[in-house]
């Protein structure tokens, strides 16, 4: 009986094993075969060709350009120190503040901002945006290979939102300037920068438009004629490179149009031809030498043309002439429509700004206008805003001191002097791009009473004291609407 049970169990086990084997074999016959292959060194190939500036074929391949451009785009970290202190009551020096009994806020708080920059010279010169490094007391630059340097500000130009830095290093990779006039709407471009602190980021897109004015710069004489692109640009891209497929720098990425603060399809870059001129001026003169026509213009469109009875719909309509107008002296009149500068077409006020911004005081430009249907040409010698056709001196050794400082002054009247209990002073009528705005928080309306401790009551005395001056300058004065004495220091 026991043997019968053992035999039965063995037979059952054998049958089960045989059944499983048959099922497994049948499943393998019916199951699909999956093969995974690996290949080594699959090369990237261009998708095709596009035509270059001179009609030559250019390989539509981003890898080569991206690799080259990334080497010359840096990360910029700017640290500013901002005051949290309220206006101080002089009696607190003797009796203390009632707030001190409960809390004491630190007077100074560090503020750190980041952006990008482009190495344009192997000797360490870097272009970035002015808003990236504005008011910074410490600027740190990190290269593509993670080397880190302290940077010095060579000069800034708030009117174009550009700044020039330098680090102490040589033999650096650079991006060469390309002719931004040759850029065409629809051509491929790459944006290189450090968005959201994601270093060495490259995005691709096309040029969407040229000569865009988005009213983002708050300077009185701002120059906005941006290259618009749909290459993704985000916070941190500011100061980075916009390059063409040949690896040339066509713009410095500056702004985005967005309701959220992040990329929404539109990015804007300062054209390289403007960047090149600003850099040359900062290196040669210490500040930007900007020639002006001395005209107030409006974009000409169908509505304005119909209102004025004009038979054209593109150009810059001369609304009025400014005081000491270079254009007016040459014969241009209100009602004229500027249609070209040195044979380059003017389609709107932004393109006019861009073309004039490339010139210095004293330069002669050929201005073509449409005057009631007749085309006339004028040779205009550009001037400074004050009407001078000479370049402001770098060291302030001439009467162009005020141009270098970026300040317009006028003596205060006797009534104001009596009201403020002053012997006299110079009121700041206007501030423009210059040493005072770059290095101090002075605002218009400030009344200068002393320069380095000595009283100043006339513009001539002020200019004479600064002619040929080197080193630090301390201005002392008051505001009519703010209590106390205020001091502003800067270097010549």
- Just list the catalytic residues: 131, 161, 238
Q: How far apart are CA 310 and CA 304, in angstroms?
A: 8
Q: Which two tokens stand for residue 27?
A: 């499943």
Q: Alpha helix (H) ranges present in 242-312?
A: 272-284, 302-308
Q: How far apart are CA 347 and CA 491, in angstroms?
A: 41
Q: Which two tokens stand for residue 92?
A: 């607190």
Q: Alpha helix (H) ranges present in 286-428?
A: 302-308, 326-330, 349-357, 401-405, 414-419
Q: How far apart are CA 490 and CA 198, in angstroms?
A: 35
Evaluate whether 221 touches 209 at the Cβ level (below 8 Å).
Answer: no
Q: How far apart are CA 214 and CA 383, in angstroms?
A: 26
Evaluate whether 244 touches 227 at the Cβ level (below 8 Å).
Answer: no
The torsion angles phi and psi of 66, rounded to 5 degrees, stand at -60, -45
Q: How far apart are CA 400 and CA 418, in angstroms?
A: 31
Q: How far apart are CA 360 and CA 340, in angstroms?
A: 18
- For residue 5, the surrounding DSSP H or E stretch is helix 2-30
Q: How far apart are CA 235 and CA 232, in angstroms?
A: 10
Number of H helices, E strands in the chain: 12, 27
Evaluate whether 472 touches 490 at the Cβ level (below 8 Å).
Answer: yes
Q: How far apart are CA 70 and CA 175, in angstroms?
A: 9
Burial of 10 (0-12, 13-18, 19+ CB in 10 A): exposed
Spatial neighbors of 5 by CB under 8 A, at least 6 apart, are: none
The torsion angles phi and psi of 250, rounded to 5 degrees, stand at -110, -10
Place of tokens 């980075």: 240
Q: How far apart are CA 396 and CA 473, in angstroms?
A: 13
């Amino acid at each position: 009986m026991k043997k019968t049970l053992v035999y039965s169990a063995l037979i059952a086990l054998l049958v089960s094993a045989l059944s499983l084997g048959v099922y497994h074999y049948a499943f393998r016959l019916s199951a699909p075969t999956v093969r995974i292959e690996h290949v080594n060194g699959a090369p990237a190939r261009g998708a095709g060709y596009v035509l270059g500036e001179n009609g030559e074929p250019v390989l539509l391949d981003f890898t080569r350009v991206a690799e080259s451009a990334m080497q010359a785009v840096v990360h910029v970290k700017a640290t500013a120190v901002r005051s949290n202190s309220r206006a101080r009551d002089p009696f607190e020096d003797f009796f203390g503040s009632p707030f001190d009994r409960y809390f004491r806020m630190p007077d100074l708080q560090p503020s750190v901002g980041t952006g990008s920059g482009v190495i344009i010279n192997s000797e360490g010169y870097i272009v970035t945006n002015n808003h990236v490094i504005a008011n910074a007391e410490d600027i740190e630059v990190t290269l593509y290979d993670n080397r880190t340097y302290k940077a010095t500000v060579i000069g800034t130009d708030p009117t174009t939102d550009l700044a020039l830095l330098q680090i102490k290093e040589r033999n650096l990779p650079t991006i060469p300037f390309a002719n931004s006039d040759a850029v065409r709407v629809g051509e491929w471009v790459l944006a290189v920068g450090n968005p959201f602190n994601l270093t060495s980021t490259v995005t691709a897109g096309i040029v969407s438009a040229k000569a865009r004015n988005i009213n983002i710069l708050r300077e009185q004489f701002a120059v906005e004629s941006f290259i618009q692109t749909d290459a993704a640009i985000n916070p941190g891209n500011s100061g980075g490179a916009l390059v063409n497929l040949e690896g040339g720098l066509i713009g410095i990425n500056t702004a985005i149009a967005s309701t959220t603060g992040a990329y929404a399809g539109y990015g804007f870059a300062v054209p390289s031809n403007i960047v090149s001129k600003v850099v040359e001026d900062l290196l040669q003169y210490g500040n930007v030498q900007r020639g002006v026509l001395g005209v107030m213009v409006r974009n000409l469109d169908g509505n304005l043309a119909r209102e004025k009875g004009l038979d054209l719909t593109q150009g810059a309509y001369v609304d009025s002439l400014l005081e000491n107008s270079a254009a007016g002296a040459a014969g241009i009149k209100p009602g004229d429509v500027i249609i070209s500068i040195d044979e380059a077409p003017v389609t709107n006020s932004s393109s006019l700004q861009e073309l004039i911004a490339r010139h210095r005081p004293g330069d002669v430009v050929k201005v073509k206008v449409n005057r009631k249907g007749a085309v006339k040409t004028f040779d205009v010698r550009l001037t400074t805003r004050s009407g001078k056709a000479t370049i402001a001196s770098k060291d302030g050794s001439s009467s162009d001191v005020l141009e270098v400082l970026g300040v317009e002054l006028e003596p205060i009247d006797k009534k104001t002097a009596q009201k403020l209990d002053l012997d006299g002073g110079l009121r700041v009528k206007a501030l423009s791009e210059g040493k005072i705005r770059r290095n101090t928080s002075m605002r218009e309306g400030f009344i200068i009473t002393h320069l380095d401790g000595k009283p100043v009551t006339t513009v001539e005395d002020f200019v004479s004291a600064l002619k040929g001056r080197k080193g630090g300058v301390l201005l002392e004065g008051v505001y009519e609407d703010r209590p106390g004495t205020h001091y502003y220091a800067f270097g010549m």
